[in-house]
Amino acid sequence: MFGTPLPGATNARAQAGDAGAPCAVRAFEGRSYVVCVAPARSDLRLFFATREGEPLGTFAAVRDALGRSGETLVFAMNAGMYNPDLTPSGLYVEAGVQRKAANQKGGAGNFHMKPNGVFWIAQNGERGVTETGRYLARKIQPAYATQSGPMLVIGGDLHPRIREDGTSRKIRNGVGACAGGRTAFAISNEPVTFHEFAVLFRDALDCPDALYLDGSISAIYAPGVGRHDRWRPMGPIVGWVEKGK
């Protein structure tokens, strides 16, 4: 089997509020986004490399590998920053195996815009988005985890360095831990500022905690809205998996 389904994972699209359509194009404050919402009992997994250790690199590679195991990729998105060789920039856990330790170093760039954070899925299926220091202090034993940065929303408040008058605009994607146990993934359809993107998660998606995954290289696989981005090879990928029909 490609990846490991978590206990209690079910065909959850009927619980998503819009049966059969977990992803939708949404407008918020004059900007357009694709938003994919996974309910609490959906089977989310992270993917990086083949059994031989070669980076998968594309949504098609993940989709096809799942298909050989009789499973379906409902949607997918790049899942955190990575190095030129596609290896994760920070903590990465897949199917219970830590492939890279947490990165708590300082430095330039968005990843090091502290606090950064971790999107994690526990062995029992619980999911969260947690600031890196708090994540490590809790000693969570994840089935899956990916570190990126910066945090966008922390306990309902915007990251302290995200300013409303920021001028940098990029195509951006991120993940939020939201009300009702939902996990929301969003990618902008046009360049947006950090502030615009963070407020989307806080105010429109009701996510008290949200994490920036990347910008400019952001990509999504969402066949329900006609998206299969193939910009360039990617590092870690997150996807919602269902048993094949």
For 127-158, write each residue's pLDDT tens digit: 999 999 999 999 999 999 999 999 999 999 99
pLDDT in tens, 47-64: 999 988 899 999 999 999
**Does a structural domain hold residue 167?**
yes
Half-sphere exposure of 77 (CA within 13 A, CB side): 27
**Does a structural domain hold residue 6?**
no
Nearest-Å Rg of the Cα atoms of the chain is 16
pLDDT at 193 over 50: yes
**Does a structural domain hold residue 160?**
yes
Helix (H) or strand (E) run with residue 129 in it: strand 127-131
Cα separation, 82 vs 58, in Å, equals 14
**Does a structural domain hold residue 115?**
no
**Does a structural domain hold residue 170?**
yes
The residue among 20 and 111 whose pLDDT is bigger is 111
Count of the separate structural domains present in the chain: 1
**Does a structural domain hold residue 31?**
yes
pLDDT at 82 over 70: yes
> What pLDDT is stored for residue 75 in this prediction?
97
Q: Domain of 64?
A: 13-91+153-243
31-38: strand order across its sheet: 23-28, 31-38, 183-188, 172-177, 209-215, 151-154, 157-158
**Does a structural domain hold residue 148?**
no
**Does a structural domain hold residue 128?**
no
The residue among 219, 216, 234 whose CA lies nearest residue 84 is: 234
